[in-house]
Chain A
Amino acid sequence: MEQIQLSGIKKSYGKEIAVQNLDLTVKSGDFLTILGPSGCGKTTTLRAIAGLEEPDDGEIRFGERVVFSRRQGVIIPPENRNVGFVFQSYALWPHMTVEQNITLALKEKKISRAEIESRLKKSLEMVQMEPYRKRYPSELSGGQQQRVAVSRLIALQSKILLMDEPLSNLDAKLRTEMRAELKRLHRELEATTVYVTHDQAEALTLSDIVVVMNEGLVMQCGTPYDIYHNPQNLFVAEFIGDPRINFFKGKIINKEGHLKMDCNEIFLPLNKELPSNSGNVIASVRPESITVSYKENKDWLKVRLKSIQPTGANTILQVQSGTHEITLLQPGFIRMEIDEPLWINFDSDSLNFFDEETGNNLNI
């Protein structure tokens, strides 16, 4: 187990900045996911850790070992960093059998034959690919190729594992299956893992820590729970969560002795005080955090149903109040007619408030 520490990492391609001054620490044995839209610099960061990309500035350490430092003039090439890497395309060598794919690097490391055989056997067993050792990659399905790539990683016994969107080429069902398997593997191997994805479900299910990146900057770093419930800025709030989070723009007012947020006909409850000088505020609430009543409730907000999308276990409801469109998520398969009225209520604990200008969470 080894800790990975990045400090002051910068990388640009010509005028395009890929990573701006990134500081990141992956604790020993942690599963950290870098999540972000395409072009946010997540893959560049991962490749910099592996050594496949040279940052323009900064320092990378594995434990006490400096593997890259612009200031000290150190670049350890990827060959000598001893990390495991799974590529999006799996990068299996098409002219070699499964067995050769796994053992080529081991033979190169002058490991004894018996040891190679035992590692090969063990790594194939871990991904249930033992019967396929003589096959060529083209004779395997996408999921099986993925398993071979993972077992190649296991056999190397690296203390650091890096994965670049390893599941994105699989179909939805297989992806869920492999996700569970990767989580199990990480527990068994106890390796420090950095995982890059644009799929928030993968990030939330797999990780100990999630790092959300955008335009080369870290937007937030925290546990999946934190990221989901306490987004630190509007970007994270909007990027995480499916269906999308609801935003309300407005001002804080004092109404009938209670602090409320006036969002043009909708009033949101506040249980804490905001700094009195705060200007325009944006409130966010997750679709599943809004309480719904199908019977009239005078104290609640009356809305009308605009569209309804049952997904089986849940139902997504689009409702309208004045000019506001609000998304709701309710358990169960709901059947309703368009334009039927509903009554909704906001729980003050599930609301987050952001400064409109900076986009940052006001943390009240």
Chain B
Amino acid sequence: MNSSYFVSEKRRPVFSNSNLSYFFYKLLNRPQLVLGTIFLVILSFLVLTPLLEIIKDSLSIQSYDIAYLPNANIGDFSFFHFERVFSGPLSKALLINPLLNSIAIGICVTLIGVSIGTIFAWLIVRTNIRYKAIFGALAVVPYMMPSWVLALAWLSLFKNDRIGGAEGMVTYFFGFQPPNWISYGFFPIVICLSLHYYAYGYLLMSGALASVDSELEDAGAICGMNRRQRMWRITVPLLLPALGSAIVLTFIRILGTFGTPALLGLPVRFYTFSTQIYASLNANNNGDAYVLALVLIITAITCIWVNNRVLGVRKSFVTLTGKGFRSREIDLGTWRWLATIGVALFLTFTVVLPLVILLWESLLIIPGDYNLSNFTLEYWFGDGTIDETYGEPGVFQSDNILNALWNSIKLGLSAALFNGIIGLMVGYAVVRGRGTLLSKWLEGISFAPYIFPSIAFGAIYIGMFSTSWGPVPALYGTFTILVLITVVKNLPFTSRTGIAAMLQIDSSIEETARVQGIGWLKRMVRIVIPLSLNGLVSGMLLTFITAMRELSLIILLISPSNMVLTGLLFNYNEQDMAQHAGAVTLLLTFIIISGSILARIISRGFGLSTLKNG
């Protein structure tokens, strides 16, 4: 009797009508599944195909190689590039030197930057230093400024006569030529990058420090620990995961950074990994460039892996912030004023001074002559008819610049908009689908762009979109490709923001709407989006800032038809038009800072009126 029952069960066709409709119903019942699948497919295409593409190109003969291999056919499988980069006579110039330079710069900048950032974070979060609010706001300004602002200012200060063009302020005011090692190469690159990236360390560490409950230290005191023991046995171990992340994330970013090493390194043929990739690509030698890009990607993955292995398990306690939270300020005593003055001086040098120098630079008729009689406003407002401005109209008269400005703003806004939407959707699909494989994959794939060095990512997108790709048209030289690559590159941050925002919304908040008969779209519009708005706005603001100041990612993708401010600035600098470069940089910085202030005011307004959270 039993066996016959089983037979009839088995014979039920797998794809009967009821099974199909059940599957269909099941899908309809889970919007996060549909959404997740769609995004997984699109993002896989945008993130994984580039990776496959560079692996393929690095392993096949390119048109550039025909000169060396007259008998080979383009597209043939070959280890030619790998041999050239790793064991050929050019290996030292192509791989070893740039790699060593990049690693040396990475280690120095990470050490200096993270140390400064940590000290700042500690001073501002945990001590009774004066003017905390102002310092806190100013400390993140370097993060908002394009990273090469400092490099440009450095050049204005220390440019010597060995390269050609006008000399810097040091030569003008003090009458001596700074030695080459001060003007160009390793030393200035490390200084400029450190003074930029400390802000990154500051942001990460101040968050972690603020989440360490003073009561934990008090508990140590009750157990009889002295101040030093409490610091080393309690506070520091609690901060280690954040410190580890700060170090690894900073290091990876520096490996891929392009603007500063290009400005300060290329004139003396000092190559880092990213500038070497840029040079190879400029020489049309894609194969070598892609091999180098792969090396960079593998280095980045290794760093993240090591970080996760060593500290990953403990990461959880950084995010744990208990209620009944208390933070006590440490009294610096007599050091209070010294620390205040020190921080003020430091911020003046890193934030205010570079901008003043660039402003000054933009007001000179002839570069290198800092006499008051040499001042002019032609570079800002002139129409370009006089000789001194190289025939280029001033910033507010130049169609080129205004056009690029408009493009930059468009890029920033559209990237922010798309990233906001995608971040929200990915966050929704990942959080609501928690526990499923789809959710895991989606989370992983949205983090993947982080490991691509910007310059390499740009290089891959040229290859990918120079011809049409199935339904995707050729995008090279279009504005669309800039938006696309910016959105994909920022995905790791926005999807994290989206996930964090969605985790704040208890699933019952949405389920109660479902049960009441409110459809998915309406739920998103009326409930999910309003409740995640705060996180969303700050995520979008970050994208806006990053997109506006982006150079390394898009430097290979811009052409006169889709020129943005950063690209224009790079061109001005290459042509030694210091006034225009200074003026454009100031314009860019001004827009980014005022944009972020505006966004903060708006989001604060929203925060008051909509988030009456219980």
Contacts and interface: CB of A to CB of B under 8 A. Distances in A.
Nearest to A77: B29
B25 A94 contact: no
Contacts of B21: 73-74
Interface in A135-175: 136-140, 145, 152, 156, 162
Interface residues of B, number: 32
B22 A77 contact: no
B18 A139 contact: no
A104 B518 CA distance: 8
Nearest to A82: B517
Contact of B18 (A52, A72, A108, A156): A72
5 contacts: A77-B29, A91-B509, A105-B517, A109-B517, A152-B516
Nearest to B610: A95
Nearest to B17: A73
Nearest to B505: A94
B26 interface: yes
A168 to B, nearest CB: 14
A254 interface: no
A137 B611 CA distance: 11
Interface string A66-96: 0000111111011111111101110111110
B613 interface: yes
Contacts of B516: 84, 104-105, 108, 152, 156
Given A79-B517, A108-B517, A89 B613 contact: no
- For the complex of A and B, list the 10 residue pairs with the smallest distance between their C-beta atoms, beginning with the closest: A73-B18, A105-B516, A73-B22, A138-B614, A75-B25, A136-B612, A91-B512, A73-B21, A91-B508, A85-B515
B22 A79 contact: no
Interface string B12-43: 00000111111001101100000000000000
Contact of A137 (B522, B531, B614): B614
Nearest to B612: A136
A157 to B, nearest CB: 11
A75 B26 CA distance: 7
A92 B614 contact: yes
A80 B520 CA distance: 12
Contacts of A80: 517
Interface string B479-523: 000000000000000000000000000101101111111110010
B527 interface: yes
A54 B531 CA distance: 27
Given A74-B21, A138-B612, 18 more contacts: A51-B514, A52-B511, A52-B514, A54-B29, A71-B18, A73-B22, A78-B514, A83-B515, A87-B512, A91-B509, A94-B613, A94-B614, A95-B527, A95-B611, A105-B518, A138-B613, A145-B614, A152-B516
A274 to B, nearest CB: 34
Contact of B506 (A75, A89, A109): A89
B328 interface: no
A52 B509 CA distance: 13
A316 interface: no
A54 B30 CA distance: 11
A88 B21 CA distance: 33
Interface of B: 17-22, 25-26, 28-29, 506, 508-509, 511-519, 522, 526-527, 530-531, 610-614
Contacts of A91: 506, 508-509, 511-512
Contacts of A227: none
Interface of A: 50-52, 54, 70-75, 77-85, 87-89, 91-95, 104-105, 108-109, 136-140, 145, 152, 156, 162
A81 B508 CA distance: 17
A84 B26 CA distance: 22
Contacts of A137: 612, 614
A72 B452 CA distance: 49
A77 B522 CA distance: 15
Given A73-B17, A85-B515, A94 B508 contact: no
Contacts of A87: 508, 511-512
B614 A52 contact: no
A138 B610 CA distance: 12
Given A82-B517, A94-B612, A108-B517, A73 B25 contact: yes
Contacts of B531: 93-95
B515 A84 contact: yes
A105 B17 contact: no
Contact of B514 (A77, A92, A104, A156): A77
Contacts of B26: 54, 75
Nearest to A162: B515
Contacts of A145: 614
A78 B511 contact: yes
Nearest to A88: B508
Contacts of A72: 18
A75 B611 contact: no
A337 to B, nearest CB: 43
Contacts of B614: 92, 94, 136-138, 140, 145
A89 B513 contact: no
A237 to B, nearest CB: 34
A78 B18 contact: no
Contacts of B610: 95
Contacts of B527: 93, 95
A236 to B, nearest CB: 30
Contacts of B509: 91, 93-94
Nearest to B522: A108
A139 to B, nearest CB: 7
